[in-house]
Structure 1
Amino acid sequence: MKYYIIAGEASGDLHGANLMKALYKEDSNADIRFWGGDLMKNVGGTLVKHYRELAFMGFIEVVFNLKTILSNIKICKTDIAKFQPDTIIFIDYPGFNMRIAKWAKERGIRTHYYISPQIWAWKESRIADIKRDVDKMYVILPFEKDFYEGKHNFPVEFVGHPLIDAIHNQPLIDPPVFRKEHELNEKPIIALLPGSRKQEITKMLSVMLSVVKDFPDYQFVIAGAPSQEYVFYESFISNENIKFISNKTYDLLRNATAALVTSGTATLETALFKVPEVVCYKGSWASYQIAKRIITLKYISLVNLIMDEEVVTELIQDDFNPKNIRIELNKILEPNHRKSLLEKYDLLEKKLGGIGASENTAKLIVADLKQNTNH
Structure 2
Amino acid sequence: MKYYLVAGEASGDLHGANLMKALKNLDANAQFRYFGGDLMKAEGGELVKHYADMAFMGFVEVVANLRTIFKNMAACKKDISAWNPDVLILIDFPGFNLKIAEYAKAQGFKTCYYISPKVWAWNQKRVLKIKKVVDYLFCILPFEVDFYKSWGMDVDYVGNPLLDAVAAFKPDPEFVSKHQLKQKPIVALLPGSRKQEISRLLPEMLEAAKQFPDHQFVIAGAPSFELNYYQQFLNGQDAPVIFNATYDILNVAKAAVVASGTATLETALLNVPQVVVYKGNALTIGIARMLVKIRFISLVNLIMDRLVVKELIQEDCNPVKIGDELNAILHNGSYRQKMLSDYDELDIKMGEAGASAKTAGLIVKYTQKNSAL
TM-score class, shorter-chain normalisation, is: over 0.9
Structure 1 unmatched ranges of 5 or more: none
Partner residue, 1:283: 280
Question: Does the alignment pair 1:231 with 2:231?
Answer: no
Give yes or no for the alignment of 1:51 onto 2:16.
Answer: no
Aligned partner of residue 373 in structure 1, secondary structure: helix
Shift of the alpha carbon at 1:300? 0.3
For residue 124 of structure 1, give the secondary structure of its aligned residue in structure 2. coil
1:110 and 1:208 mapped to 2: Cα distance?
44
Q: Aligned to 2:256, what secondary structure does the other structure show?
A: strand
- The 8 Å contact of residues 206 and 234 in structure 2, kept in 1 or not, is answered as no
Deviation readout 1:218-253 (Å, 9 max, x if unpaired): 111111111110000112224564222122111101
Q: Describe the SS at the equivalent of 1:6.
A: strand
Structure 1 residue 326, shift from structure 2 partner: 1.5
Task: Classify the secondary structure of the residue corresponding to 2:49.
Answer: strand
Shift of 1:331: 1.1
Q: Take 2:197 and 2:305, find their aligned partners in 1: how far apart are those partners?
A: 26
* Residue type at the aligned position of 1:168: A
> Which residue number corresponds to residue 151 of structure 2?
152
Q: What letter matches 1:53 in structure 2?
A: D
| Counterpart-to-counterpart distance in 1, 2:188 and 2:329 | 13
Gaps of 5+ in 2: none
Q: Secondary structure at the match of 2:29?
A: coil
Structure 2 distance, partners of 1:289, 1:340, is 32
What is residue 366 of structure 2 aligned with on the other side?
Answer: 368
Q: Deviations over 1:64-83 (max 9, x none)?
A: 11111111111111111111
Report the alpha carbon displacement of residue 109 of structure 1 after superposing the two structures with TM: 0.9
Q: Equivalent residue for 1:338?
A: 336
The SS at the match of 2:210 is: helix
Which residue number corresponds to residue 172 of structure 2?
A: 173
- What is the deviation of 1:209? 1.0
In the alignment, is the contact (CA less than 8 A) between 2:7 and 2:51 conserved in 1?
A: yes
- Runs of 4+ deviating beyond 3 Å: 238-241
Q: Give % identity.
A: 55
Q: Give CA-to-partner distance per residue, 1:330-365, whole Å, 9 cap, x none.
A: 111122211111111111111111010000000000
Equivalent position of 2:315 in the other structure: 318
Supply the distance in 2 between the matched residues of 1:103 and 1:135 (Cα, whole angstroms): 13
Aligned length: 372
Offset from partner CA, 1:84-115 (integer Å, 9 cap, x none): 11110000001111011011111211110000
User: Are the equivalent residues in 2 in contact too, given 1:280–1:315 (CA < 8 A)?
Assistant: yes
> CA–CA distance in 1 between the matches of 2:215 and 2:237?
11
Counterparts of 1:212 and 1:72, CA distance in 2: 38
Asked if 1:91 is matched to 2:83, the reply is no
Helix, strand or coil at the partner of 1:167: helix
**Corresponding residue for 1:163?**
162
Alignment correspondent of 2:301? 304
Cα offset, 1:30, TM superposition: 1.1
**1:101 partner SS:** helix
| Equivalent residues of 1:237, 1:243 under 8 A apart | no
CA distance in 1, matches of 2:208, 2:194: 22
Matched-pair contact (CA < 8 Å) for 1:218–1:241: no
- What SS class does the counterpart of residue 105 from structure 1 fall into? helix
Indicate the SS of the match to 2:153: coil
Letter in 2 for 1:362: A
Residue 61 of structure 1: how far off its partner (Å): 1.0
Aligned to 2:11: 11
Aligned-partner residue type, residue 348 of structure 1: L
Corresponding residue of 2:73: 73
Q: Distance in 2 between matches of 1:103 and 1:30?
A: 24
CA contact 2:273–2:336 (8 Å) conserved in 1? yes
Asked if 2 retains the 8 angstrom alpha-carbon contact of 1:90 and 1:114, the reply is yes
- Within 1, Cα distance between the matches of 2:186 and 2:101? 43
Relative to the length of structure 2, the TM-score reads 0.98
Alignment of 1:190 with 2:187, yes or no, is yes
What SS class does the counterpart of residue 308 from structure 2 fall into?
coil
When normalised by structure 1's length, the TM-score is: 0.97
SS across alignment from 2:171: coil
Distance in 2, matches of 1:325 and 1:125, equals 37
Distance 2:209 2:92 in 1: 35
Give, in whole Å, the separation in 2 of the partners of 1:237 and 1:188. 20
Aligned mates of 1:16, 1:28 — CA distance in 2: 18
Partners of 2:140 and 2:158 within 8 A in 1:
yes
- 1:131, distance to aligned residue in structure 2 (A): 0.5
In the alignment, is the contact (CA less than 8 A) between 1:216 and 1:241 conserved in 2? no
Q: Which residue of 2 aligns with 1:357?
A: 355
Give the match for residue 348 of structure 1: 346
**C-alpha separation between the residues in 2 aligned to 1:185 and 1:323?**
25
Paired position in structure 2 for 1:118:
118
- Please provide the CA RMSD for this pair: 1.1
Q: Does structure 2 conserve the Cα–Cα contact (< 8 Å) formed by 1:191 and 1:252?
A: yes
How big is each residue's C-alpha offset from its partner over 1:152-200, in whole Å with a ceiling of 9 and x where there is no partner?
Answer: 12111111110010011112211xx111111101101110000111121
Distance in structure 1 (CA, Å) of the matches to 2:210 and 2:38? 36
Question: Structure 2: which amino acid aligns with 1:5?
Answer: L
